[in-house]
């Protein structure tokens, strides 16, 4: 068994990257390691200058999350000893090993903005980097994201536009005939799920957002608007492929979101396949974490 220190911002259900870091901390504790959280409180990908804090306040951690408390009631020397003897796990926005752990892992949670150099490179998706020592993917299947009780997507009255991180890549706009979903609206997952169960097309400018998959879980059809993050055809090869064949009729859909393409059965099969893949990954999450942890310990 080993000690780990996961560097992460305070928990937020609106960021898949933050969620998976906290889930990783919980999983490491569940399989017998000691893993704590070092909260990122200052710094940015561009300027670096990261500073860290620690706290046992429950609202900063994942709901029902498990973390090793390496600081409460301990001296500064004891805390420093735990940190220096731990393997630090950083999101890819952090360069190097600013916590000073005995070694470190960089967890690539998105398409990297700079070259990743680390003793152990872990990637959330095989699409993000070919230069990785391990792969650890986890879908987030909220109980609020379900198509139970909803009508088939072809009969739904509403289509939605989502911009998210898409504005970092190109000029985005609300597709005519749709309602804009924003990163802070609806305010919670329950309301977002209720909206997505009424949604026919989820037109997304952020082609790698976890919200796209929330739409799939609610029975809506994702429509990806560009190839500037990861090409849409390449996304089909990722963890939650296959490519949703709505793209074959993209121009028709964008002209009038009330239209329904002719390949309904093909689209339904693609949605079902993605949902089934997600459930397999979720069922194997702890086993996959255990395998990656063993590889980290072996290599480092």
Are 185 and 128 found together in one domain?
no
Please name the residues in contact with 12: beta carbons below 8 A apart, sequence gap of 6 or more.
18, 19
Confidence of residue 247 (pLDDT cuts 50, 70, 90): confident
On whether the CB atoms of residues 55 and 39 are closer than 8 A, the answer is: yes
The answer to whether residue 292 is domain-embedded is no
pLDDT at 249: 84
**Res 161 pLDDT > 80:** yes
The answer to whether residue 299 is domain-embedded is no
Are 123 and 26 found together in one domain?
yes
**Res 155 pLDDT > 90:** yes
Are 93 and 194 found together in one domain?
no
Q: Could you read off the pLDDT of 99-132 as tens digits, one per residue? A: 999 999 999 998 888 899 999 999 999 999 988 9
Average pLDDT, the chain: 93
Mean pLDDT of 1-26: 93
Are 129 and 164 found together in one domain?
no
Are 127 and 224 found together in one domain?
no
pLDDT at 208: 86
Confidence of residue 28 (pLDDT cuts 50, 70, 90): very high
DSSP letters for the chain? --EEEEEEPSP-TT-HHHHHHHHHHHHHHHTT-EEEEEEEEEEETTTEEEEEE----GGGSPTT-----SSTT--HHHHHHHHHTSEEEEETTS-S-TT--SEEEEEE-SS-SS----SEEEES-TTT-S--SEE-------TT---TTPPPGGG-SEEEEE-GGGGGTS---PPTT-EEEBTTBSSSHHHHHHHHTTEEEEEES-TT-HHHHHHHHTTPEEEE--SSSS-HHHHTTSTT-SPPGGGGGHHHHHH-TT---S-HHHHHHHHHHHHHHHHHHHHTHHHHHHHHHHHHHHH-
Structure tokens that stand for 128 in this block: 């993000």
| CATH code of the domain containing 119 | 3.40.50
Are 129 and 166 found together in one domain?
no
* β-sheet bridge partners, residue 121: 106
pLDDT at 231: 85
Q: Report the C-alpha gap between 48 and 115 in whole angstroms.
A: 14
pLDDT at 15: 84
pLDDT at 212: 92
**Res 244 pLDDT > 80:** no
Are 77 and 131 found together in one domain?
yes
Residue carrying structure tokens 């706009």: 173
The answer to whether residue 184 is domain-embedded is yes
The answer to whether residue 209 is domain-embedded is yes
Mean pLDDT of 247-260: 90
Are 130 and 170 found together in one domain?
no
Which residue range is the domain that position 174 belongs to? Answer: 153-280
Mean pLDDT of 91-98: 96
pLDDT at 261: 92
Structure tokens that stand for 289 in this block: 């974490």
Cis before residue 115, ω within 30 degrees of 0?
no
On whether the CB atoms of residues 87 and 102 are closer than 8 A, the answer is: yes
**Res 243 pLDDT > 80:** no
The answer to whether residue 107 is domain-embedded is yes
Q: Report the C-alpha gap between 32 and 46 in whole angstroms.
A: 36
Q: HSE of 40 in the Cβ direction (CA atoms, 13 Å)? A: 23
Q: Could you read off the pLDDT of 193-236 as tens digits, one per residue? A: 999 999 999 999 998 888 999 999 999 999 999 989 888 888 88
When divided into structural domains, the chain yields a total of 2
pLDDT at 74: 92
Are 158 and 275 found together in one domain?
yes
pLDDT at 233: 83
pLDDT at 240: 85
Are 183 and 271 found together in one domain?
yes
**Res 32 pLDDT > 80:** yes
The answer to whether residue 147 is domain-embedded is no
User: Considering the entire predicted model, what is its pTM?
Assistant: 0.85
Last residue of a domain, one of 107, 136, 165: 136
Confidence of residue 16 (pLDDT cuts 50, 70, 90): confident
Q: Could you read off the pLDDT of 258-272 as tens digits, one per residue? A: 999 999 999 999 999
The answer to whether residue 229 is domain-embedded is yes
On whether the CB atoms of residues 232 and 190 are closer than 8 A, the answer is: no
pLDDT at 84: 95
The answer to whether residue 159 is domain-embedded is yes
Q: Greater confidence, 244 or 124?
A: 124
pLDDT at 250: 87
* C-beta contacts of 120-126 below 8 A and 24+ residues apart: 120/295, 120/296, 120/299, 120/300, 122/89, 122/292, 122/296, 124/17, 124/20, 125/238, 125/239, 126/237, 126/238, 126/239
């Amino acid at each position: 068994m080993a000690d780990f220190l996961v560097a992460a911002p305070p928990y937020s259900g609106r960021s898949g990257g933050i969620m998976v870091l906290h889930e990783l901390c919980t999983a490491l504790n569940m399989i017998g390691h000691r893993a704590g959280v070092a909260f990122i409180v200052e710094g940015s990908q561009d300027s670096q200058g990261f500073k860290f804090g620690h706290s046992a306040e429950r609202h900063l951690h994942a709901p029902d999350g498990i973390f090793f408390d390496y600081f409460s009631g301990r001296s500064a020397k004891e805390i420093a000893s735990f940190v220096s003897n731990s393997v630090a796990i950083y999101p890819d926005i952090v360069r190097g090993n600013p916590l000073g752990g005995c070694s470190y892992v960089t967890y690539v949670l998105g398409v990297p903005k700079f070259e990743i150099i680390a003793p152990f490179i872990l990637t959330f998706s095989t699409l993000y980097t070919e230069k990785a020592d391990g792969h650890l993917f986890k879908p987030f299947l909220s109980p609020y994201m379900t198509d139970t009780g909803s009508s088939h997507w072809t009969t739904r009255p509403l289509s939605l536009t989502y911009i998210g991180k898409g504005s970092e890549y190109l000029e985005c706009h609300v597709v005519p005939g749709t309602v804009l979903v924003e990163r802070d609206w609806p305010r919670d997952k329950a309301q977002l799920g209720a909206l997505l169960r009424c949604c026919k097309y989820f037109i997304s400018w952020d082609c790698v957002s976890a919200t796209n998959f929330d739409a799939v879980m609610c029975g809506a059809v994702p429509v990806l608007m560009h190839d500037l993050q990861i090409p849409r055809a390449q996304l089909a090869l990722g963890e939650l492929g296959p490519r949703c064949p709505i793209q074959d009729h993209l121009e028709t859909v964008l002209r009038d979101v009330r239209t329904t393409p002719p390949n309904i059965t093909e689209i339904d099969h693609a949605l079902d396949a993605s949902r089934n893949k997600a459930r397999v990954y979720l069922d194997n999450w702890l086993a996959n974490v255990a395998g990656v942890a063993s590889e980290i310990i072996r290599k480092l």
